[in-house]
Amino acid sequence: MDKNITIAVDAMGGDGAPKKIIDGINDHANKSNNVKYLIFGNKDIIVNHLPNSLNKNCFEIIDTKNKVEGKDTPLEAAKRGKDTSMWLSIESVKNKKADIVISAGNTGALLVISKLNLKMIESIDKPALSALWPNKIGMSVVLDLGANIECSEKNLIDFSIMGASIFKSLYPNEKAKVALLNIGSEEIKGNDVLKNTYQKLSKIKNSNFDFEGFIEGNELMNGNVNVIVSDGFTGNVALKTAEGTANFITNELKKIFKKNLLGKLSGIINYLNLKAFKKRLDPRQYNGAIFIGLDSPVVKSHGATDYIGFSNSLSVCEKIVRGDLIKKIKDNIYREN
């Protein structure tokens, strides 16, 4: 039987909040067992969106009138006060009232407020932002996606261990295969930090993952590796490029199949294949970036996603807690330090 877990939810962050947040909770609750949701936000607004189908025993609303605005800088968000839905939801994890926290709100604010409230895991210098990407075989964990513009060799090694721990938490029956994102696959390619990290990771004998060396940008989705590590600048550019390419392909296909009668007929004939293709590229399926390195897990849902995407990010939260992510990171970090 699944253990009981509690997810703290910032209900006021992101486009369409709190309705899409509540709808996402309702969708997730219909697919999961033994999950309780601590919903932080304006109760007067939230109750108007609660569906009758949502079991009243699976959630609690913590009335929070103030919220972090999307336009706030991280400093402004921190100064806005400790009575915002984002701050209090994170604080509930700090106080062990929840196992994990999720927000679709301001990313910079979430990172700063999380760091103000939660301690770093011992021996980790910097937290990282990670996310799931599809590949030919299944899924990959990619990090860092923007939390750290510059990284040391130790940071990249820590990211490798943490990324492998995330992968094993989400996919316990698969082997984590780690690679460093670089401009070439040869050992002599890249800057000194990458080359030195390569040498150090090659010497690490870690049962939690296999180190596969360097990977180039055009190989990100071939499925040969499933944990891809980089500094935050490179990772963020790669992510945005991949998202833009996926959107471009999807939009161009739509144009082709609407252009003329032949295109429409082709679309009808290939309807099921196109539907499967669209689902494979649907960013809602991979929603839920993970802020790791802190002693409690923090998940960032995309602010523009709909309730389906938010529901999927709640599934990521559930898997992280049930997979004992923080324990896996601590066990492996301490083993290498």
Tens digits of per-residue pLDDT, 194-238? 999 999 999 887 678 999 999 998 888 888 999 999 999 998 888
Cα–Cα distance measured from residue 98 to residue 314, given in angstroms and rounded to the nearest whole number: 14
Domains annotated for the chain, with CATH where assigned, are: 1-124+293-323 (3.40.718.10), 125-286 (3.40.718.10)
The pLDDT of residue 90 is: 96
Q: CA dist 74 to 81, 111, 292, 329, Å? A: 12, 8, 18, 27
> What confidence tier does 134 reach under pLDDT thresholds 50, 70, 90?
confident
Look-up: residue for tokens 């689902």?
Answer: 279
**C-alpha Rg value of the chain to the nearest Å:** 21
Can you give the length of the chain in residues? 337
Q: CA dist 269 to 3, 20, 57, 251, 262, Å? A: 46, 34, 47, 19, 11
Mean pLDDT, residues 4-14: 95
Rounded to the nearest integer, the mean pLDDT of the chain is 88
Q: Is residue 188 over pLDDT 60?
A: yes
Classify strands 289-292 and 298-300 as parallel, antiparallel or unpaired. Answer: antiparallel
Which of 186-190, 214-218, 322-326 is the least confident region?
Answer: 186-190
The pLDDT of residue 270 is: 64
The pLDDT of residue 275 is: 65
Q: Is residue 1 over pLDDT 60?
A: no
The pLDDT of residue 333 is: 78
Q: Is residue 310 over pLDDT 90?
A: yes
What tens digit of pLDDT does each residue of 234-285 get? 988 888 887 787 778 777 777 876 777 765 666 566 656 656 656 665 666 7
Which of 13-27, 158-172, 282-296, 312-326 is the least confident region?
Answer: 282-296
Which of 98-102, 200-204, 291-295, 333-337 is the least confident region?
Answer: 333-337
What tens digit of pLDDT does each residue of 56-98 get? 899 999 999 999 988 888 888 888 778 999 999 999 999 999 9
Which of 8-12, 74-78, 121-125 is the least confident region?
Answer: 74-78
